[in-house]
Each structure stands twice: as C-alpha cells, then as structure tokens.
Structure 1
Amino acid sequence: MRIARLTNADIHWREDGDPNGAPVVFANSLGTDLRLWDKVIDRLPEEGYRYIRFDKRGHGLSSCPSDAYSMTDLVQDLEELLDHIGVSQFSLVGLSIGGMIGQLLAHRQPDRMTRLILACTAAKMGTADMWQVRIAAVRKGGVESIADAVLDRWFSGPFRHSDECIAWLSMLSRTPAEGYIGCSEALAARISPQQPPN
C-alpha cells in the first residue's frame, strides 16, 4: 500500500502497468474506492501506460479530515498527489464526482491534462435539496442506511441479485460517514449559482 502524506490529507494510491508509460489517472465515484477500477485495469494494455488510482479523502484507505470539504479541496489533493509522485502530464478518466474533479483540474491546469474522459458526470449534479436529504440520512444512519437505494441506481436488477453485488454493497457501506458527507457537501456547494469556478 502507498500513502502520500499531503498538506491536508493522507491519500492512498496505487499504480499498475508500465512505470515508464504515459500516465492515466482514474478518479472514482462517491462512496467507492480505487478497487472500482479493478476490472477496467485488467482489460487494459500492460505496456505503454502507467495507471494511477487513488482514494479521495474520506474514502477507502485515505484519511478522513473532519473539516468541511469543497471541490477545490478534492482537486488540490489530486494536484498535490500527482506532484508528489512526479506526474507532470496525464490523461484522466473520471466517474461521477471523479469526473467533476477532472473537469475542475482541467480548468485549473489545462496544459497538464492531455485527455479527459468523463462518465456519468456533469458540471453540477442533482439539487442542493437532494444532497441535503442524503446528508441528513447518512448523519442519522450511516452510509449503510442509503446503500440499497444507491445500488439500485447504479446497477440492473439481475446484477443487484448477484453474488458480486455483495462486494459493492460492502465497499459502499464501509465508506466513513464523515467522508461521504464531506464530499456530498462539496457537490451541493457546486450547485449554488454564486459558486465561481475554482
């Protein structure tokens, strides 16, 4: 396991593929950790590319700061991680909040990102009220209290009843409530029309 001790968080990260290859960074969704990409990495070429994954703050094996999170915090964590491991230019694959991190990083450092691949994301997601309802539910009952509803949105009915889905349920349910809430608050803040790009 690799931990980068950054200014405001300790970030767990992993690399696969060719250590001298072109860097490709994977940024995952809310309530998941870097294992989200396991089956994707298994299908990619082993030569020519350096695949970098990380657990954003409050997720997986990364630290879970107790202060409020912003999207700027999440982007700065990734910027600092990439500086820490010596990556100057890279492609980024972002899913959901990972895609939002990628968009903001491309806005902040356009010359650094060679490609941006986005899935299931947007400049803003949901409504502030929706996020506040979810935050209140997690404060009351933990992430496990919303896990089934989240997985119903992620997966088809047949997959939801598969053995493999049990692992996804475990990954999501074990996300620290503080980390899930922190990232949800960051997402809610992006919806405010007074929020400028960072």
Structure 2
Amino acid sequence: MKIARLSSADIHWCEDGDPQGVPVVFANSLGTDLRLWDKVIELMPKQGLRLIRFDKRGHGLSSCPPGPYSMEDLVEDTRELLKVAGVHSCIFVGLSIGGMIGQLLASRQPSLVQGLVLSNTGAKMGEAAMWQERISSIRAGGIDALADAILERWFSGKFRQSDECLAWRHMLTRTPVEGYIGCCEAIAGTDLTASTSKLDLSVIGIGGADDLASPPELVRNTAALVAGSRYVEIAAAGHLPCVEQPHQFAGHLMTFFKEDLHVTKV
C-alpha cells in the first residue's frame, strides 16, 4: 500500500501495469474506494499502460480531513498526488464525482490531462437543495439509512439481486460520514459547464442505460460540451458500469486510447 502525504490529506493509492507506460489515472465515485476499478484493471493490457488508482479524501484508506470540501480541494489533492507519482501527463478516467474532478483538473492544468473519460458524470450533478437534503438525512440516520435508495441508483435490478451487491453496500456504509458529506458538499457547490465548454482535448462520455444517479442524457450532454467528443452507452448497467459490465467498459477505454489518443504500445 502507498500513502502520499499531501498538504491537506494523506491519500492512499496504488498502481498496476507497466511502470514505464502511459499513465492512466482512475478516479472513483462517491461512496466507493479504488476497488471500484478492480474488474477493469484485470482486463487492461499489462504492457504500455501505467494504471494508477487512489482513494479520494474521506474515502477508503485515505485520511478524512474535516469538511466542508470543495471541488478545488479534491482537484488539488489529485494534482499533488500525480506530482508525487511523477506523472506529468495522463489519461484521466473519472466516474461520477471522479469525472467532475477530471473536468476541473483538465481546465486548471491542461498540460496534465491528454485525454478524458467522463463516465456517469455531469458538469453539474443535481441541485444544491437535493444534496443538502441528503446531507441532513445522513447526519440524522447515517449512510445506512439511505443505502438501499443509493444502490437502486447505482445498479440495475438484476445486479441488486446478486450476492456481490451486498459487498458494495458494505463499502458504501463503511465510508466515513464526514468524508461522504464533505464530497456531497463539493458536488453541491459545483457547476463546471462554462469551464468544461472551453476544454480542448479528446473526450469520451460513457453512460449506463439504467443509471438513475447520472442519467444517460446528462452524460451525453456533458461530453457534448467539448468539441469533437463522442459518447457511448452500456446496456444492462447503472451508475457503475465498470462493475456490472467490465468487459464492455474496458473495451470502450481501449478503443478510445487507440483511436482517439493514438496510444500504440499496448
């Protein structure tokens, strides 16, 4: 296990694949840790790509600084982590809040992000009042009180009947409350429409047909903010298609890497 001791948080991270390969950085959704990407990492080439994952602040094995958090805080954590890892340019794969981090990082540090995968995310995700309602519910009853409703947005009906879904419920409910709320506050205060519209890089949006948290139209419209971007949709998947349909997800990544970013040594 690796810990990067940054200015405002201690961030747990790991890497797989080729240490000399093109860096690919994966950023997780709210209420998950870097294990979100396990199935996809297993399917990626072991040569030519350096696959980096991390737990954002308040999640997984990273520290949980007192809130509130801003999206700028999360982006600064990511920028500092990449500096520690010796990454000067990367392909960024962000899901949900991870996709918001990727959008803002690409805006703030354009030389750092050569390609951007926006999975199940938006330039703006929900209204501030909705997030404040969720925060109030969690403060009153903990994450467990909302877990079933969250899982309905995360996964298709079939997946929710599987034993594996129980493990994701445990991951969600074991997220530190202050870390979860801090990231809710970051999302509530963020609208990236203007800055994302000015991005000049290769972008692919990936949606889940059954996603109730970031519906396909939201993801499609967010990707469309960037000229020349494209969008794909994964059937029989909700908010976390990398979990439900990892082969399709990995396939879309590799197509994007090869055809849009011209990564050849994989």
TM-score normalised by the chain length of structure 2: 0.71
1:80 is aligned to 80
2:89 is aligned to 89
Kindly provide the amino acid, as one letter, of the partner of residue 152 in structure 2.
D
- For the Cα contact (< 8 Å) 1:23–1:91, is it kept in 2? yes
- For the Cα contact (< 8 Å) 2:32–2:175, is it kept in 1? yes
- For the Cα contact (< 8 Å) 2:103–2:192, is it kept in 1? no
- TM-superposed deviation, 1:192: 10
- For the Cα contact (< 8 Å) 1:94–1:117, is it kept in 2? yes
Report the Cα distance in structure 2 between the residues aligned to 1:190 and 1:87, rounded to whole angstroms: 26
1:53 is aligned to 53
1:100 is aligned to 100
Kindly provide the amino acid, as one letter, of the partner of residue 120 in structure 1.
N
- TM-superposed deviation, 1:191: 4.7
1:30 is aligned to 30
Kindly provide the amino acid, as one letter, of the partner of residue 20 in structure 1.
Q
Report the Cα distance in structure 2 between the residues aligned to 1:141 and 1:64, rounded to whole angstroms: 20
Tell me, what secondary structure is at the counterpart of 1:190? Answer: coil
Structure 2 stretches lacking a partner, 5+ long: 196-266
- For the Cα contact (< 8 Å) 1:30–1:180, is it kept in 2? yes
- For the Cα contact (< 8 Å) 1:128–1:191, is it kept in 2? no
- For the Cα contact (< 8 Å) 1:147–1:172, is it kept in 2? yes
Change beyond 3 A, Cα 1:192–1:82: closer
Kindly provide the amino acid, as one letter, of the partner of residue 74 in structure 2.
L
Kindly provide the amino acid, as one letter, of the partner of residue 140 in structure 2.
K
- For the Cα contact (< 8 Å) 1:4–1:13, is it kept in 2? yes
Aligned length: 196
- For the Cα contact (< 8 Å) 2:29–2:96, is it kept in 1? yes
Matches within 5 A, 1:155-170: 155-170=155-170
2:183 is aligned to 183
Change beyond 3 A, Cα 1:75–1:140: same
Kindly provide the amino acid, as one letter, of the partner of residue 130 in structure 1.
M
Tell me which of the two structures has the higher relative contact order, counting C-alpha pairs closer than 8 angstroms and 6 or more residues apart: 1
Report percent identity of matched pairs.
66
Structure 1 residue runs of 4 or more that deviate by more than 6 Å after TM superposition: none
2:63 is aligned to 63
Report the Cα distance in structure 1 between the residues aligned to 2:80 and 2:144, rounded to whole angstroms: 31
- For the Cα contact (< 8 Å) 1:127–1:191, is it kept in 2? no
- TM-superposed deviation, 1:8: 0.1
Report the Cα distance in structure 2 between the residues aligned to 1:122 and 1:69, rounded to whole angstroms: 18
Kindly provide the amino acid, as one letter, of the partner of residue 35 in structure 1.
R
- For the Cα contact (< 8 Å) 1:93–1:102, is it kept in 2? yes
1:18 is aligned to 18
- For the Cα contact (< 8 Å) 2:21–2:47, is it kept in 1? yes
Kindly provide the amino acid, as one letter, of the partner of residue 103 in structure 1.
Q
Report the Cα distance in structure 2 between the residues aligned to 1:15 and 1:192, rounded to whole angstroms: 29
CA displacement, residues 147-187 of structure 1 (integer Å, 9 cap, x when unaligned): 11011011111110100101110111100000000000111
Structure 1 stretches lacking a partner, 5+ long: none
Confirm or deny that 1:7 pairs with 2:23. no
Report the Cα distance in structure 1 between the residues aligned to 2:152 and 2:14, rounded to whole angstroms: 29
Kindly provide the amino acid, as one letter, of the partner of residue 56 in structure 1.
K
- TM-superposed deviation, 1:111: 1.5
Report the Cα distance in structure 1 between the residues aligned to 2:62 and 2:56, rounded to whole angstroms: 7
- TM-superposed deviation, 1:67: 3.0
TM-score normalised by the chain length of structure 1: 0.95
